[in-house]
Chains A and B, each alone.
Chain A
Amino acid sequence: MEVVERQGNYLTMSIGPQHPGSGHMRLIVTVDGDIIVKVKPDPGYVHRGAEKMCEVRTYIQNIPHLERPVIIDSSGILFAYILAAEELIGVQPPPRAQYIRIIMAELNRIISHMYWLSIYGIFMGHSTMFMWPMGDRELFIDLAASIGGTRVTFSYFIPGGVRNDIPPGFKEKALKTFDYFVKRLKEYEKIYFNNPLVLKRTQGVGVLKREDAISLGVTGPNLRASGVASDTRKDEPYSMYDGIDFDIPTYREGDSYSRAWVRLEEMRESMKIMRQVLDKMEAGPVKQPMRGQIKGKVGEAFARTEAARGTMFFHIVSDGGKFPYRVKISVPSFRNLIAMSHLLEGNRLADMPVIYWGLDYWPVEADR
């Protein structure tokens, strides 16, 4: 924490961009004693020009690059890109490929939420809640790595399907892991979510009202914690989400505590989705083979998916060449950032870590 300037009785300081907890992003905070008066988020420290980079790379070469903004949820960001790119290239993935994509996306959602949960725990000084989710996250990384080959950046979705089939024995291993993890989540509730100390730290802290959440344009679990049952998987079903039965966990309170619960419940729902998909999957091809240079037809396409942090939107314009003409990414983290200054103002400085990480802001995703 670095002190910048002093005006009257207020103290302005910047938190970040090398803060060990905030990620690579700066918050310019004005405090009156212990109370936060004004917050100005200053994103852009890790801006890498991912959108511009897409314009000089082919549709395939973009895949490993587009994972980099949010490696923790790499399938979540790729899903939207692939859906938009497929529309331009003009390929339709086989049903089995679409089911495998859902498995990967949901595995990645759990991996991302577990990472979030462990950091949320350590931000409140709860070291056990840092160790446990990090350890259990390893099981889901193992599952995803057995499909995708690497631990975080899988580069697994390609236009026309997925790169390889799931390995033999995946279903048994996955179901065993889910059985274990459902029990484990009950322990999480005991040690953390129903812990009176955590309740004191989070309940009523950073309340985002339903009307504010809608007018600020918040997405994802943060919106659902404010009482809006909005989920792209249900609202505009893409891929094979149409035929899958799952609930949207919604809480009315809109505080940091309910934002934590939404994510916990979402992990349960993700496992429910994967169980159904593993039953529904039938043998068949996983990819529509494409040979030679892949070119998109003249026009534009967009796709909206539900990533771990909220709605991920891709808009691709093609001029008929082998490179996309323009790629525009609308990321959930940036939209949730707008709510941050709204929530922090008027709260105590000690509540900042809880509110900050309760929004699950990922600076690299927001900066792109």
Chain B
Amino acid sequence: MSVSLGRGIFDAFFASIKSLFKRRYTLRYPEQKLDLPDGYTFDAKTQVGSPGVKGRHILYLDKCTGCSLCAIACEGIADCIDMVKVDGTWPKDKKAIMPQIDYGRCVFCGFCVDACPFDCLFMTPEYELASTDKRKLVYTPFQLGNLPEKKGLVEFIPDEKSGAHHA
């Protein structure tokens, strides 16, 4: 635990100077984006989820029955899901109500996905939801129905020499 003054200062400088020759640590964010795995999904039959990123939701409009179990699951957590009326006829959804999610309130816990018994509400790796207008954070069922485009290309690959290798 104790070292001599000269040795200690030399070691400290040497360790930091060495890092000058290492690869860059940080990501140039708006130009480079992380290649994220798939979103979090949940199998209602086995009651087990799949490991994945909890980002924006995806709603499969053709499978939704408007049972509002997702909204009930969210009630005590973030209270961000509202069941709203949607245009058109839906064979499985006679009442034509579907979840609308307010991302100003969502905490991305994914318990609404666990609550869905028809495998129609999952999560996607989409995380860039910031907006200059609060109203734009409310995603209608049709907006939730779109799959986000894949943006990320960069991956963190740790090895013995450097913490972050971008490939």
Contacts and interface: CB of A to CB of B under 8 A. Distances in A.
Interface of A: 56-58, 60-61, 63-65, 128, 135-136, 138-139, 142, 145-147, 149-150, 153, 155, 163-167, 173, 176-177, 179-180, 183-184, 187, 190-192, 194-196, 199, 261, 285-287, 289-291
A164 B51 contact: yes
Interface stretch (B81-89, B140-148, B157-165): B157-165
Nearest to A128: B16
B152 interface: no
Contacts of A60: 73, 111
B108 interface: yes
Given A149-B53, A179-B160, A196-B9, 20 more contacts: A58-B76, A61-B73, A61-B77, A63-B111, A135-B164, A139-B156, A139-B164, A142-B156, A155-B110, A163-B49, A164-B52, A165-B51, A180-B159, A190-B14, A191-B11, A191-B16, A192-B12, A199-B2, A287-B47, A291-B47
A26 to B, nearest CB: 28
Contacts of B5: 196
B35 to A, nearest CB: 12
B126 interface: no
B15 A155 contact: no
Interface of B: 1-3, 5, 8-9, 11-12, 14-16, 18, 25-26, 37, 40, 46-54, 73, 75-78, 107-111, 114, 123, 156, 158-164
Contacts of B9: 195-196
Contact of B12 (A65, A139, A177, A195): A195
Nearest to A64: B109
Contact of A149 (B25, B123, B156, B164): B123
A65 B74 CA distance: 12
Contacts of A180: 158-163
Q: Is the interface of A mostly helix, strand, loop or mixed?
A: helix
A194 B11 contact: yes
A195 B49 CA distance: 47
B8 A194 contact: yes
A139 B14 CA distance: 24
Contact of A176 (B8, B109, B114, B159): B159
A164 B40 contact: yes
A163 B123 CA distance: 14
A135 B163 CA distance: 8
B51 A191 contact: no
A150 B48 contact: no
Given A163-B114, A190-B12, A139 B163 contact: yes
Given A135-B26, A289-B47, A194 B3 contact: yes
B46 A289 contact: yes
Which of B3, B75, B159: most chain A Cβ within 10 A?
Answer: B3
